[in-house]
Amino acid sequence: MTSTSVASPSFGDLALLPAVLSAIETLGYETPSPIQAQTIPALLEGRDMLGQAQTGTGKTAAFALPLLSRLDLERRAPQVLVMAPTRELAQQVAVSFSKYGQNLKGLEVATLCGGMEYRDQLQALRRGAQVVVGTPGRIIDHLDRGSLKLDGLSALVLDEADEMLRMGFIDDVKRVVADTPTDAQRVFFSATLPTEIERIVNRYLVEPVKVAIESRTTTGENIEQRRVRVEGGAKLEALARIIEVEPVDAAIVFVRTRAACTTLMEQLSARGVNVASLSGDLDQSLRERTITRLKRGKVDVLIATDVAARGLDVPRITHVVNYDLPQDAEAYTHRIGRTGRAGRDGVAITFAGNREGRKVGWLEQATGQKMSEMALPDEAAIRAHRDQVFHQRAIAAVTKGAEEQRALVEQLVEEGYDPIELACAFAGLARADEAPIGRLQAPRKERTPRDGKPSRREGGPRDRAPREGMTRYRVSVGHKDGVKPGQLVGALANEGGIEGNRIGRIDIRNAFSVVELPNGLPSSILAKMARARVAGRPLEISEDRAPERAPRRRRDDDGPVPRRERA
């Protein structure tokens, strides 16, 4: 394995196709990032490559630009296949290929991801897409259907290979790598190099160029960055408490999908929060009206996706909450940069469960700043805050005067009611609309088997009630299909557009499996999950209504043990 170290040239020095070069000039790209400068020349030569780089270093352009420059646009068949661990990342990569190849006449990019219509994917493949980007499960599905063929492939890219391993896609990855033509270029990007990834590299990559880049993204020093340890099921209550207690003028709450944007807005609105949403499907006029309302103080909390919040500049935003973790450090930096504008102080709060510590570490490493641990306010703190707010309201009312109520109060005093008791009664009436304080689930401790990997199985879920806020569902694959917990997590998360850490206990039986999912999932999301394919079979998800088991009675050789008589 060889290593390269190249001084940073301009894009014009990198022998890119003129049409590709003109596209990146139109997009405003001037100087290659370190990983682009080291990667593009080797990939233009057709070399295999192993890149150690986190998302946010510019690695998508690092492989997209040279691979686009080597396409044969006359050949209407898959030439480049990019595998990504999540639907969101795959869609980002596909969009990047389309942008960088906007001047390539006849370029077709197909996106093969869960949660998207098969019809659109099949049409793109039939049109002869030269670039195919997708998630492992859906790529395997198309291979099994015969709608995707790899015999004409000239380049295979594994993006975030270690994340695919973590999500349980390693068998799918091995199959695709093994089925790729032996003379095809193989390009692997991975932030870390687990043993399993190293084995694949050593077996399938031929004298690969090795490039290692450390991401370094700066953030404003006037932005205080905090982390809250909270799991998916408790995020809503955690957010509600933060909004109530923190000195929030206006806040942006970032989620990963449009569906989550709508759901969270409805949940907060039901709690009395002055909230609006901003996602990529809004037309420009509605987007502008929403931002105007935020600027004028008619909206206090904005739920947004990364794409929708691009370029948003509202000075009154004091807080940014990463309800869902961003895909990369670049997105994180953009998110928290929506606060602390024009030299003002800002607060960025990131929700991350115990399983997401690794991603938090990447963000801290990339930004060069540690996130301080933030404890959520408990019930006593919430009540103390509400008492303080009411105290201020009461003083303001006394100062202002309420002469129209004096006659009524004097009448009640004359009738013999104690003034203090009356004041308590009036306070109770005035505060009757305060929302109840919900329960806050503590982050659960992960059981760790001997191999050191977190276990998704925590005993028999069908033998116990599901965790609070969760519903049990039955899926049609089990041990006989060779399914693993990580495959189920990846398929359900990608198809349903929900975070993997919101998926609860998984119990794999011989012919089926039982999975805990958050309460209240829309039927449209469940329908998408039902179409997900694992081990070549659709999941056919349905609510599990297993009856409660009666307690077992001890038996000996002669039948039931008689109950002991009371003395």
Three-class DSSP labels, 498-554: CCHHHCCCEEECCCCEEEEEECCCCHHHHHHHHHCEECCEECCCEECCCCCCCCCCC
Q: Tokens in use for 315? A: 């000075």
Q: Please count the helices (runs of H) and the strands (runs of E) in the chain.
A: 19, 23
Residue (of 344, 332, 374, 364) closest to 223 by Cα position: 344
pLDDT at res. 124: 93
- Domains of the chain, first to last: 2-212 (3.40.50.300), 223-373 (3.40.50.300), 379-429 (no CATH), 461-543 (3.30.70.330)
- Distance in angstroms (rounded) separating the CA atoms of residues 83 and 112: 9
- Distance in angstroms (rounded) separating the CA atoms of residues 262 and 513: 30
Contact 492, 498 (CB under 8 A): yes
- Distance in angstroms (rounded) separating the CA atoms of residues 515 and 10: 51
The residues, any chain, with a CB within 8 Å of residue 490's CB and separated by 6 or more, are 85, 135, 136, 137, 167, 168, 169, 500
Residue 158 backbone phi and psi in degrees, to 5: -105, 115
- Distance in angstroms (rounded) separating the CA atoms of residues 502 and 470: 9
Q: Which portions of the chain are predicted below pLDDT 50?
A: 1-7, 215-217, 443-461, 547-567
Residue (of 461, 458, 463, 467) closest to 439 by Cα position: 467
Vertex 217: Cα angle to 212 and 221 (nearest 5):
150
Q: Read out DSSP for 416-463? A: T--HHHHHHHHHHHHTTTPPPPPP-PPPPPPP--TTSPPPS--S-GGG
> 210: helix, coil or strand?
strand
pLDDT at res. 262: 86
Angle between helices 59-69 and 87-100 (to 10 degrees): 50
Location of structure tokens 């794999």: 508
- Distance in angstroms (rounded) separating the CA atoms of residues 113 and 90: 7
Question: pTM of the predicted model, to two decimals?
Answer: 0.49
Contact 327, 263 (CB under 8 A): no
What is the end-to-end Cα distance of the chain in Å, rounded? 81
Burial bucket for residue 19 (CB in 10 Å: 0-12, 13-18, 19+) = middle
Burial bucket for residue 61 (CB in 10 Å: 0-12, 13-18, 19+) = buried
Q: Tokens in use for 189? A: 């990007």
Location of structure tokens 């390269």: 4
User: Which residues is 278 bridged to in the sheet?
Assistant: 304
Residue (of 410, 256, 260, 246) closest to 322 by Cα position: 256
- Distance in angstroms (rounded) separating the CA atoms of residues 268 and 264: 6
